[in-house]
Structure 1
């Protein structure tokens, strides 16, 4: 069909127009209707897609393709839990449907269940090795887990499926860079540039390679080439700015962002990068707030910019403004768990434990396995006299999900302390200190406070005194400083 030709050529508008005409002329042709639904979903015309797809399901409630389309629509609507249920029903009808496994993986990823998402994507490529979207999803998982061997495997599959695309070569190049196999990385990067010289992808990865090698001038040139070929490439601008920041030239990083914005004034991502640099590297709170606000105005779905906007407002001492920002953001992004988590942390800073718990609970309704929300809710429950057994379960979930987090170790230890299991508590507080040191994090007075209290409960006064004194050295104005001083006075006497 002509519509299929347009779709294969990448002209989605013409494909939709052709299938719209076909559907009008042949309204009972089921395959035409299904193909039209898929194109409407890709174009984001969800209401039209939903209405047509519901017609298919009304005629046959077990139509697997239509169930998969419904799942896709639910994902795009932000209803990941409903999508997962729909797609699981589709797989009951057709367990070997690779496309259904792929979209189910997307739903689980949105629910914060990366392990299940990865499993579904592996099922998708097992059943449909040609499903490049699933290979890309696995590559993204490998990047998030910093599993470079897995990234190389996924990238190689993308190259096999799309040898004329630069993405697979660029991703495999990234896997080699991270393992210091620079010659192999250079070969793949050169191939990425050769197959798509007008794409920014190869130049960005070339810049990444030169940056790792501390060849800053060559890195700058490569990133700039990426921007020259694609003035909207946020990866190229991000790399260029990172290159300047690595050379301790924040003014040049800011200037690069402003220059890119001058060429692409409607880029939400560019304003996001500018605001981030102004906040982190220039400590220009007002400038950062203005840039991030502009980023959010240009794209109300840019959750990164909205999250950072709230963080800037909180850093300026405007916790109420930050909370208001997150509340407004949730109207446009009701299924973004991070807004609830950060809002909960702001309520914590105001000692409003009930509001904090409510925020964390809402985050967990969206992502039941969100480790940060689990950790924070467990701590808030203990601090406000909540159910310690429920807090223990939450803290254990957080510890499993964030094994390298000193805060997760401390929270679990604090729950054990409340339950009177001081030995387990001490082990976890010590682990929190070790992890903080490993992560090169600033010393946390709370870890020492908790450990000092646990040592006191186990009749180890010298160790208790050592850690309690450390609390006041780290922060003389610590929130529980008066309690620390009282305990020290009792220990000394």
Structure 2
């Protein structure tokens, strides 16, 4: 549609003055413009009966309205021209084009068919007619029209393409291929034609035809890497792996840094169970600048989960990461993925080193800094974390997670006032993140509890649960602290009932639930839950084992209690009364 309008407008600009002179001189130079044909004596006689000036004014009024985009008034002006002279094709063509652009195809067809009857050899008219048939779904008529156009201009590339499209729309794909074959006689080997024919064959389910087409492309352009890669893909699709390998190896003779070939060869050899060669070509791809870093990162991310239980794949992934660093030394991404791998494998110092390098290369990416701070927390490098956090705060002052990590670090250092200051500041800048806000209040609860400001601690914990009622960390800690204080024990029991439902099989949670029952003097339920905790893995926890002994003692199972206290001592219990309990075989609290 746009092509017709553009070509016609260019033509009109070129011949505007000629058209103007024609109207002024009453048609003396009619043949200078392809749209106006006044050779017929009858038409000339009819023209002599109308006022040329009135017709001229109406026509150019239509042109002006068309230029400014007022289609309705333009159509009205051209209609006036048609009423004055129904044998003139130009206003009919203009009207058809306007209706076409408005999507009023029935009207467009009426006027362009009328124009073509008056001037059957005008290629502009016939082209618009064909395109209008296409838009209206009259594909057979469009095919006929484009074929007639090619009779006028046999080597026209655009009309060949339009005709092929019409055949495809009319479910005649083999005729479309014939049209492309015919066009190739005029323009020679042409990538787009090979690609189009290949796609048609594939959509017909004719893989052999597609292969033969692309083989012809390769024969015509033996050094065209895209053609060879396309052929290789078709061979792979058709199960012709050996041919695919030969084609790809040929492409490497043309360009020894062909990353697409490396990737396909890697896949092919993997399918053939030749993992050594497969990895060889993967390494070649990673060492090639012809393959973008993001594609390489995607492969490493794909390997990330699988490598967790596959030592060989993990080893290969680390080798690829090192190649990635060498190939892209100034990009942070290789160091980021290295940090992720090392962190997952608990190699925290190596993870820290890589994230630090990534942050140096790209200090604008906050997630890198965040992960670096988390690693420092995991390594218990609290002073370093605090110093780093202050630097990162200057770069990203609106990131609340920085304040949270600083708060946690200060809690670990027992700098509770500083922790409370960071946490209170950070929670003010949290936007639409209830999970994080709940954690801020949870940590505030921990800090206030450590300061023995129990009222503030309770308020913070309750606020955390108000925001996120199923926060198991808070449900457990708050309940445990209430049990130690022997206050609000029924509330603690209700919270722990929810907690163990949300996270079954967690020995620390089951131990807390048991201890709440213990403080309620419900020793049978306490025994039930402490034994669950032991079964869930708590038998290696000095605290849980000692609690087990205390509960057994309250149930008058003193010998069994003594055995558990002794075991707790062996596990490293540092409780205040453990030695006295063992030596005197008596419970002390």
- TM-score, with length taken from structure 1: 0.51
The number of aligned residues is 296
Q: How far has the Cα of 1:400 moved from its partner?
A: 1.0
2-side partners of 1:469 and 1:248: how far apart?
33
Structure number with greater Rg is 2
Deviations 1:402-448 (A, max 9, x none): 2132221112111222233212211211222332459xxxx433323
Structure-to-structure mapping, 1:28-177, within 5 angstroms: none
- Contact 2:480 2:512 (8 Å CA) reproduced: yes
- 2:529 aligned with 1:428: yes
The question of 1:393 aligning with 2:494 is answered yes
Other-structure match for 1:205: 302
Counterpart for residue 580 of structure 2: 485
Give the secondary-structure state (helix, strand or coil) at the position aligned to 1:329.
Answer: helix
Give the CA RMSD over aligned residues.
Answer: 3.9
Q: 1:280 to 1:387 in 2, by over 3 A?
A: closer
Which residue, out of 322, 327, 330, partners 2:427?
330
Q: Where does structure 2 lack aligned partners over 5 or more consecutive residues?
A: 1-274
3-state DSSP class of the match of 1:454? helix
Deviation at 1:310, TM superposition (A): 2.5
- CA deviation string 1:357-386 (max 9, x = no partner): 222101011112222222222223333333
CA distance in 2 between partners of 1:363 and 1:261 (Å): 33
2:311 is paired with a residue whose SS is coil
**In the alignment, which of 538, 545, 553 is matched to residue 456 of structure 1?**
553
Asked if 1:291 is matched to 2:388, the reply is yes
Cα distance change of structure 1 residues 447 and 243 upon mapping to structure 2, 3 Å threshold = same
Note if 1:262 corresponds to 2:262. no
Contact 2:543–2:573 (CA<8 Å) still a contact in 1? no
Query: 2-side partners of 1:394 and 1:400: how far apart?
Result: 10
Q: Secondary structure at the match of 2:294?
A: coil
* C-alpha contact (below 8 Å) 2:445/2:458 kept by paired residues: yes
Q: Which runs of 5+ in 1 are unaligned?
A: 1-181
Q: Does 1:274 align with 2:375?
A: no
Shift of 1:394: 0.8
In structure 2, what is the Cα distance between the partners aligned to 1:206 and 1:384? 50
SS of equivalent to 1:198: helix
State the SS of the aligned residue for 1:467. Answer: helix
Alpha carbons 2:420, 2:444 under 8 Å: kept: yes
How far does residue 237 in structure 1 lie from its aligned partner after superposition? 4.5
Deviations 1:441-487 (A, max 9, x none): xx433323322221111100012122233444445542xx1387258
Equivalent residue number for residue 369 of structure 1:
470
Q: How far apart are 1:238 and its partner, in Å? A: 4.9
TM-score (norm 2): 0.44
Distance 1:208 1:395, change over 3 A: closer
Tell me which residue corresponds to 2:520: 419
Residue 347 of structure 1 and its aligned partner are, at CA, apart by 3.1
Could you tell me how far apart the structure 2 residues matched to 1:333 and 1:267 are? 19
Rounded Cα–Cα distance in structure 1 between residues aligned with 2:301 and 2:581: 57
Change (3 A) 1:416 1:250: closer
Does the 8 A contact of 1:300 with 1:332 survive in 2? Answer: no
Q: 1:459 to 1:250 in 2, by over 3 A?
A: closer
Partner of 2:82: none
After superposition, what is the alpha-carbon deviation per residue over 1:117-152, rounded to whole angstroms, capped at 9, x for unaligned? xxxxxxxxxxxxxxxxxxxxxxxxxxxxxxxxxxxx
Q: Structure 1 residue 231: deviation in Å?
A: 4.8
- Separation in 2, partners of 1:337, 1:306: 14
1:249-297 deviations in Å (ceiling 9; x for gaps): 655433322221122112222122222333434x433222223343444
Greater mean deviation of Cα atoms: 444-453 or 364-373 = 444-453
Measured in 2, the distance between the counterparts of 1:473 and 1:353 equals 33
Instruction: Tell me the SS of whatever aligns to 2:487.
Output: coil
What is residue 253 of structure 1 aligned with on the other side? Answer: 351
- Partners of 1:300 and 1:424 lie apart in 2 by 49
Matched, 1:312 2:413: no
Give the deviation of 1:398 after TM superposition.
0.9
- Give the Cα separation in 1 of the matches to 2:396 and 2:309: 32
Asked if the contact 1:377/1:391 (under 8 Å) is kept, the reply is yes
Higher RCO (C-alpha 8 Å, min separation 6): 1
Distance 2:480 2:343 in 1: 36
1:210/1:312 CA distance change after superposition, 3 Å: same
Alpha-carbon spacing, 1:232–1:245, altered in 2? closer, same or farther (3 Å): closer
C-alpha distance in 2, partners of 1:484/1:327? 42
CA distance in 2, matches of 1:245, 1:371: 25
Give the conservation status (yes or no) of the 8 Å contact 1:268–1:294.
Answer: no
